[in-house]
Structure 1
Amino acid sequence: MTESRVAIVTGAARGIGAATAKRLAEDGFAVGVIDLDEKQCAETVSAIEAGGGKALAVGADVADAEQVQGAVDRVAAELGSPTVLVNNAGVLRDNMLFKMSEDDWDTVMNVHLRGSFLMARAVQKHMVEAKWGRIVNLSSTSALGNRGQANYSTAKAGLQGLTKTLAIELGKFGITANAIAPGFIATDMTKATAERVGMSFEDFTNAAVSQIPVARAGKPEDIANTVSFFADERSGFVSGQVIYVAGGPKA
C-alpha cells in the first residue's frame, strides 16, 4: 500500500460523514473534512484531534469544479496526497413529481452526482500516482425507488452506475470503487424528513424499524464501519460493488 494515509470525506460536518471521518481517523488516516460551511466542520475536526488524530476543515461546494479542485489541492498541500475518497455530501428536496420543481431536481443532481464526479476526478490523480486508492460512494436504499423522491432516488441509483464504471476504469491502478446504500439511519436528515411529513421523530423511527428485519434503526457508525472495510487493504479484491447496509436486504 502507498505510504499516504490521507482520506477526504465530503458532507463530514455531521451525521454519517462525521462518523466516517472519525472512524477513518481511528484507522490511522489524516482526514480532510469537507462541507459547504468550513465553520460547521469544527466539531468533527475537534473530535478527531481530541482522539489524537489529524484533520483539516475545508469549506467547499462539491458541485463547483473550481471549489472542488481548490479543496483537494489544499488537503494535498496540508495533509498529503489523498488516496481515500468518501463521497457522502447530500441534500434532500423531496416532493411528489407533480409538485417537484426544476430547482428541486437540479440541486439534488448537482450535489450527489456532479459532486461525486468532480471529487472523484480531482482525487483520482493522487491515487493513480500512488498506485493505490479507495473510492466509496454513498448511495441509498432509495435507489430502488421511493415515493416523493424522484430526484433523490435517481441520483442515488446513478451513483451505483458511476461506482461500477470507476471500478472498471481505475482498477488497473490499484484503485477500488464501491458504494454503500444505507437504509434508515437516525440522523439530522431523517429528523428533517419526519418534520416534513408531520410526524414526531420517535413515531417516524418506530414506523421505519417495524419494517427492518434486525428490528432497530441504523446508526451513522454502522455506515462508518462499512466504509472502514472498503478503505482498508483487506478489501482489495472487492470493487464495483453496492452493499446495502440496511438491517435487511432492502429495508
Structure 2
Amino acid sequence: MNKISRTLKKMFGKKVYVDISTTQSGNLLRDKCVVITGGSEGIGAAIARKCISQGARVLITGRDEVKLHNFADAVDRDKVSVLNWDISDCTVIEEKFKQVLNELGQVDIWINNAGIYRDVNYSSCRLRDWDEIMSTNIRGPYFATNRVANYFIEEKIKGVILNISSETGKVAGTNPYGFSKNIIMQYTEGLAVELGKYGIRSNAIAPGGVATKIAGRTTGDELSFPALGGRLITCEEIAELALFLVAPLSSCINGQVIYANEGNTIVIPSGNIY
C-alpha cells in the first residue's frame, strides 16, 4: 500500500489542506462508559480522544499492549483504561468482557473499530489472508457484539453499537476486506431491526480513504487522493461523526450506514441522459 501511495503522490502532486470543525470539550457523554476495539491509533484513537473530551470513561482494546499503554499515557489515565484483547480470538470473549465490566462497571456504548487490511485481490489472496481478514473484521466483532447486545438486554441498558465499515463494502472488488465491510453493513441493519424494541441503537460509518497507515499517509502528510473530493478524510472527521452517532443527538437514527467519503461512492451518470 505504501508503494501505491507514493505513486499516487507523484501523479496527483498538489498539496491538499483541509480545515475541519470540531466540537469543544463538553458533557455529551458524561457518565457514559465506552469501549473501542482497536483504539490505540488511527480512527480508534481519534474516537477515544473525542469521547474522553465529552466526559466519557473509555476503555480501548488492541493486540499491541505497548501501543495501548502509550496511548493511555498520552491522554488522561483517569479516563481511559486499556485491555490487551485480540478480537479475532472468540474463545476469550467471555473472559475479556468480564474484565471490561470489572474495569468500567458497565458498558453504554460499544464501538467496533478493530480491523485489518491486506492488499490482495482474486489472483493474490491466500487462504491465510482470507482467514486473517474475516476472523478480525467479522467473526470476532460478530460474536463479541452479540455478547454485548445480550448484556444490554439483560441489564435493560439502552445502549449504542457503532460499527466502522468502509466504502469498499459498497463498490466492486475482489479483496475480502471489502466483503467483510459489506457484511458489517448488513449486520448493522440487522441489529437495528432486532434490538430496536429494547431501545438499543446500531449504526455504522463507512469511511472513504482515511489518513492512516492503511492509506500510507498520516494526518500530518499531504491529503491529496484520487477520489471525488480529491483528498483523504482525517481521523478527526470520523471521530466527530462517531460522537454524533453515539450521543443522544442522534437518538432518532438507527440501522443507518453513513458514508464519510465526500460522495465518492455516488453513481455518476456517464454522458447526457436527459
Give yes or no for TM over 0.5.
yes
SS of the counterpart of 1:132?
A: coil
Find the aligned partners of 1:58 and 1:38 in 2 and give their Cα distance.
Answer: 8
**Any idea what SS the aligned residue of 1:16 has?**
helix
The structure with more helix, counted as a fraction of residues: 1
Matches of 1:158 and 1:77, distance apart in 2: 31
Q: What's the offset of the Cα at 1:45?
A: 1.7
Contact map agreement 2:30 2:55 (CA 8 A) in 1: no
Q: Is the 8 A contact 1:141 1:244 kept in 2?
A: yes
In 2, are the aligned partners of 1:177 and 1:239 still within 8 Å (CA)?
yes
Instruction: Assess if the C-alpha contact under 8 Å between 2:189 and 2:256 holds in 1.
Output: yes
Kept in 1: contact 2:223–2:232 (CA 8 A): no
Larger radius of gyration: 2
Q: Give 1:142's aligned residue.
A: 168
Q: Is the 8 A contact 1:11 1:17 kept in 2?
A: yes
- Which residue is equivalent to 2:42? 15
Letter in 1 for 2:249: R
Aligned residues of 2:36 and 2:112 also touching (Cα < 8 A): yes
Alignment of 1:14-93 (within 5 A): 14-49=41-76, 54-93=79-118
| Match for residue 196 of structure 2 among 164, 171, 194 | 171
CA distance in 1 between partners of 2:104 and 2:242 (Å)? 20
Q: Distance in 1 between matches of 2:61 and 2:210?
A: 21
Q: What residue ranges of structure 2 are gaps of 5+ in the alignment?
A: 1-28, 267-274
Instruction: Decide whether the 8 Å contact of 1:94 with 1:151 is kept in 2.
Output: no
Asked if 1:122 is matched to 2:147, the reply is yes
Contact 1:86/1:137, CA 8 A, preserved across alignment: yes
| Correspondence for 2:254 among 234, 239, 246 | 239
User: Aligned-pair RMSD on alpha carbons?
Assistant: 2.4
Unaligned segments of structure 1, at least 5 residues: 192-200
SS at match of 1:209: coil
Give, in whole Å, the separation in 1 of the partners of 2:82 and 2:175. Answer: 32
Q: Distance in 2 between matches of 1:208 and 1:155?
A: 27
Alpha-carbon distance, 1:146 to partner? 5.2
Q: Counterparts of 1:11 and 1:189 in 2: how far apart (Å)?
A: 14
Bigger drift between 37-46 and 218-227 goes to 37-46
Q: Which residue of 1 aligns with 2:119?
A: 94
Residues matched between the structures, number:
236
Residue 58 of structure 1: how far off its partner (Å): 0.4
Residues 58-94 of structure 1: CA deviation (Å, up to 9, x unaligned):
0111121232322221121111211111101011122
1-structure distance, mates of 2:222, 2:50: 27
Amino acid at match of 1:218: I
Change (3 A) 1:218 1:3: closer
Q: Which aligned runs of 4 or more in structure 1 are off by greater than 4 angstroms?
A: 205-208
User: What is the identity, as a one-letter code, of the residue corresponding to 1:170?
Assistant: L
TM, length-normalised to structure 2: 0.79
